[in-house]
Structure 1
Amino acid sequence: MSRINGRDYIYLVWKCHSTRQRYIVGELSQNGKYEFKYRISDVNKAIQNGFEPLIAFPNINEVYESNDVFPAFSSRLPDKRRRDIREILAKYKLERYDTFELLKKSGGKLPTDSLEFIDPIFLDEANIVREFYIAGVKFHDYCNKKNKTINFELKINENLILEKDPSNEYDEYAIKVKNKENKVIGFIPIFFSKPIGKAIDSKRKITCVVIAKECSNTCAECIKVRLNIL
């Protein structure tokens, strides 16, 4: 659970269409009431690359409050009246329909925009577990872009190695993901790289294992891992 001072948080991430760079543009939190606000430094960078403030939240300096999850976000989720809603909840390991938790688990992604919610990492948590796809797979050793095949096998439950990459031009906190043969598979997503880098520096025990793999046309969701920080 991503909680600070009694509030639960999820972050809103926007991906630039041209550069594929991701920005944490806002944060949605709840503790009785719901609150949404933009992360000013990040959203200003995103605006420079084409991001436009959401219609429901036009002022980037305002803190928006509501007694319920904002319709602009709840509308990104499947209707609770759907016949298959139990199957959907089971997929995300939810026992009941909880809008905030479903946004956190599913990401609330739509095919019509480049927004998604992520469950942030706060290092004051004692046992952190996150599941996500490795970023940038198609640009590194694992993927054979010419033949649209793979260059080497990865096994389910295989342990991967995390290595800081301070010279990276796209992310000052970048972390490479490698196999035991030192081949680069990709990178930790940019929205997780800073806290994971801090966890590496503080010598916390970190494991990163493969839990799913599949070749896709975009390589955006090829290698899924489970990260555990103790």
Structure 2
Amino acid sequence: MKKSIKNIYLTWRTGRGGSRIPIGIIKKNSSEGVVFKYLKKGVEKAKKSGFLLFEGFPDVNKVYNSNVLDIFGHRLIKNERNDSKFFYDFWMIEPGKRDDTFYLLAKTQGLVPTDNFEFLADFYPRKDLCFITEISGLSTTKIESTLVNEGDVLRSVLEKDNSYDKYAVALYKDDIKLGYVKLINSRVFYHTKYKPKVIVHSIEKNGVLKKVFIKVTFE
């Protein structure tokens, strides 16, 4: 089976509404295994906003090639938890991949409620690619919660002149701009020859849209 994940970028932000800053990259290949290294420019930028290095990786100049997935894997749900099935179903995890830490970090983003790190995959542009991600920018657009429903099909537009992200992909419900595909996850939209389809997967709301998860496929 062809690989679907190029690399995983570790991003950090100050909190909800803050810009995501890529501060590290995780690579996997047959010769070196899994390696992690910091992106120095990103680290320098993030430190200005209070960023501290990821626990377990204290040296910004080192290329880490041992215990990488063991350390990052602590962020993932344990199979024995009662809610693990819901978790895997939500993120559309392939049944045979539940012990593949690299795959799980890429597909679930390694999200935990206690910090502001996210693991965002740069995907290969395959026709059968399918992943769940989130709309960014909702804290700015403040869309009324009644305007979007689960199952809605959204329109994606490449914003090639975006000064923040050269791979920016804006998302629209009819003519209403909701926000953007998350940083890094958006790159595949630029590299694929297949037509993207974006469907609202899950919504968290409180008068306005707080979080909107989307399912992205390519036809």
1:168-206 superposed Cα distances (whole Å, 9 cap, x missing partner): 4543433221122x111111112233442454xxx6422
Report the structure, 1 or 2, having the larger strand content: 2
1:192-203 matches, cutoff 5 A: 192-199=185-192
Structure with the bigger RCO (C-alpha within 8 Å, sep 6+) is 2
Q: Give the match for residue 111 of structure 1.
A: 113
Q: Give the match for residue 73 of structure 2.
A: 74
Contact 1:11 1:28 (C-alpha < 8 Å) held by counterparts = yes
**TM-score normalised by length of structure 1:** 0.73
Task: Please list every run of 5 or more consecutive structure 1 residues that lacks an aligned counterpart in the other structure.
Answer: none
- CA distance 1:216–1:14, change in 2 (3 Å): farther
- CA distance 1:18–1:70, change in 2 (3 Å): same
Deviation (angstroms), 1:166: 4.6
Contact 2:27 2:35 (C-alpha < 8 Å) held by counterparts = yes
Contact 2:5 2:122 (C-alpha < 8 Å) held by counterparts = no
Contact 1:166 1:174 (C-alpha < 8 Å) held by counterparts = yes
Task: Please list every run of 5 or more consecutive structure 2 residues that lacks an aligned counterpart in the other structure.
Answer: none
Deviation (angstroms), 1:69: 4.2
Identity %: 26
Task: Determine helix, strand or coil for the equivalent of 2:65.
Answer: strand
Q: Give the match for residue 226 of structure 1.
A: 215
- CA distance 1:218–1:110, change in 2 (3 Å): farther
Distance 1:17 1:35 in 2: 27
- CA distance 1:47–1:122, change in 2 (3 Å): farther
Contact 2:154 2:173 (C-alpha < 8 Å) held by counterparts = yes
Q: What is the total number of aligned residue pairs between the two structures?
A: 211
1:24-80 superposed Cα distances (whole Å, 9 cap, x missing partner): 2222233463211123333333233332222322222321111x5444312222345
Distance 2:112 2:204 in 1: 21
Q: Give the match for residue 137 of structure 1.
A: 138
Matched, 1:160 2:154: yes
Task: Determine helix, strand or coil for the equivalent of 2:123.
Answer: coil
Q: Which amino acid aligns with 1:196?
A: F
- CA distance 1:12–1:207, change in 2 (3 Å): same
Contact 2:69 2:102 (C-alpha < 8 Å) held by counterparts = no
Distance 2:4 2:104 in 1: 14
Contact 1:14 1:114 (C-alpha < 8 Å) held by counterparts = yes
Q: Which amino acid aligns with 1:211?
A: H
**TM-score normalised by length of structure 2:** 0.76
Task: Determine helix, strand or coil for the equivalent of 1:192.
Answer: coil
